[in-house]
Amino acid sequence: MPTTIQVSEKLQKELAKRKMYDKETYEEVIWDMIEDTIELDDETKKELAQARKEIKDGKYHTLEEVKKELGI
């Protein structure tokens, strides 16, 4: 159920600065900030570790290589 909260003018201005687009709600801004502090789940940590290993092992393509391969 939606509710109303009071925030200071200073906080409201700070939230407004963090909007990614004009029609973004303050709730969306707050959720984005909360998401940034949430712990990564084990599967994501495992995938990141695998990606780091692949990069370390040279198993990646540069943007220039991809562009050349695609003829861009």
Per-residue H/E/C for 29-40: HHHHHHHCCCCC
Q: How many domains does the chain have?
A: 2
The per-residue pLDDT of the chain, averaged, comes to 94
pLDDT score, position 37:
86
pLDDT of 13-46, one tens digit each?
Answer: 999 999 999 999 999 999 999 988 888 899 999 9
User: Residues 28, 48: one domain?
Assistant: no
Categorize the per-residue pLDDT at 1 as very low, low, confident or very high, splitting at 50, 70 and 90: confident
Q: Give percent above pLDDT 90 in the chain.
A: 83
3 found inside a domain: no
User: Residues 47, 72: one domain?
Assistant: yes
Residue 13's domain comprises 8-38
2 found inside a domain: no
67 found inside a domain: yes
Neighbours of 69 (CB within 10 A): 9
pLDDT score, position 36:
82
User: Residues 32, 44: one domain?
Assistant: no
pLDDT at 60 over 90: yes
